[in-house]
Amino acid sequence: MRPKFLLAATFVALLSAFVAVNRIRHPPRASHVDHLGRFEAIPIEGAVGPESFAFDPLGGGPYTGVSDGRIIKWQQDERRWINFSRTSPERDDCGGHRDHDQMEHVCGRPLGLRFDVTTGDLYIADAYMGLLVVDPSGDMPTQVATQAQGLPFGFTNGLDIDPRNGAVYFSDSSTQYQRRSYLSVIISGDKTGRLMKYDPETKQVTVLLSDLSFPNGVVLSENGDYILVAETTHCRIMRYWLETSNAGNFEVFAQLPGFPDNIHRSPRGGYWVAMHSRRGRLLEWVLAYPSMGNALLKLPFNIMKAYSYLAKWRGSGLAIRLSEQGEILEMLEDRNENNWGSVSEAKERDGTLWMGSVNMPFAGKYKI
């Protein structure tokens, strides 16, 4: 019993360190603008968690994937969301105010979104359905890849598209753990993540990198000579060279103070990295001893339940803009004012930063 008790105590301490303790915050019910007028929360109906944003080639949107498997589109002129598509044909048990986490393997959970600027098709990395593509009408998407080298994807997550040839670069965060157990990917020290490339001409998937620790957001450089991939467990951004004499090199691009999620190029140069939460000391310690993480996972209680309970006291939202050299240029942190938490996305467009999250019931708009 004693070792178990010790583990349980450590686990609780670990969670409190992981989720920076804060006062309980209530999500805004209606569209909310903060006192400085810089932040606006746009509520989402019937679901939560706008994980990433994409604008279509005509500038419409943004589009975002939410917890019940829908992809919705923001109509700026009407100031409302409309339904665009969904990643599963199954819709019967997907709507309403249920716990969407429990149904996402059936209903789908769209994460990374990017438009092919030439065809106007939207590519979707769905955590459970793999890589999909939908035409501009928003009809039922087509699954284009669900496995590579005989190994099925477990947690398809981020993607980017090379506008020169339509090649899609995407990540599978783990073949062992599903999205709803994302904390287990970190705690167990899982290294089954992969970075892949889908060629729409040949319809072939190539594995570029394997044995990654929670690969998450991906982004190509401006001229496509390298790709950045967030390695969430290690709180860092890695760079993989695709072209030039460096091709094939894989190196650390930036070490960060928290767990990175999606990455986007900023129109002002460099890259916006969204951060789920800050890195706690105890978690750092556990990560140094993977056997400890594995022992924690064997404890007789639901790790995700405990985590989501503690997640009510969220750490403050965070986004960082990195230079082309990986240095921190800007850092945005919510000091309890705007209810941000678990930031998954920071996408800059026309002087506005669209902020996404895996569990908040709104999309955030921040005037830069």
Minimum distance, C-beta of residue 73 to ligand NAG, in the bound complex (Å): 10
Q: How far is CA 66 from CA 50, 58, 86, 362, in A?
A: 5, 22, 9, 10
Minimum distance, C-beta of residue 67 to ligand NAG, in the bound complex (Å): 12
Minimum distance, C-beta of residue 91 to ligand NAG, in the bound complex (Å): 6
Q: What is the CA radius of gyration of the chain?
A: 19
DSSP 3-state assignment of 291? helix
Is the four-CA dihedral 276, 169, 76, 347 of positive or negative sign?
positive
- Nearest-CB residue for ligand NAG: 83
- Residue 46 or residue 224: which is nearer to ligand NAG going by CB? 46
- Residue 95 or residue 136: which is nearer to ligand NAG going by CB? 95
Minimum distance, C-beta of residue 125 to ligand NAG, in the bound complex (Å): 21
Quick one: which H or E segment has residue 362? strand 362-367
Q: Which residues would be at the binding site for ligand NAG (CB under 6 A)?
A: 46, 82-83, 95
Evaluate whether 130 touches 173 at the Cβ level (below 8 Å).
Answer: no
- Residue 129 or residue 318: which is nearer to ligand NAG going by CB? 129
Minimum distance, C-beta of residue 62 to ligand NAG, in the bound complex (Å): 16
- Residue 93 or residue 243: which is nearer to ligand NAG going by CB? 93
User: CA–CA separation, 232 vs 158, rounded Å?
Assistant: 12
Minimum distance, C-beta of residue 104 to ligand NAG, in the bound complex (Å): 15
User: CA–CA separation, 313 vs 18, rounded Å?
Assistant: 11
Report H helices in 25-147.
104-107
Evaluate whether 193 touches 146 at the Cβ level (below 8 Å).
Answer: no
Structure tokens at 157: 């997550």
- Residue 92 or residue 222: which is nearer to ligand NAG going by CB? 92
- Residue 95 or residue 138: which is nearer to ligand NAG going by CB? 95
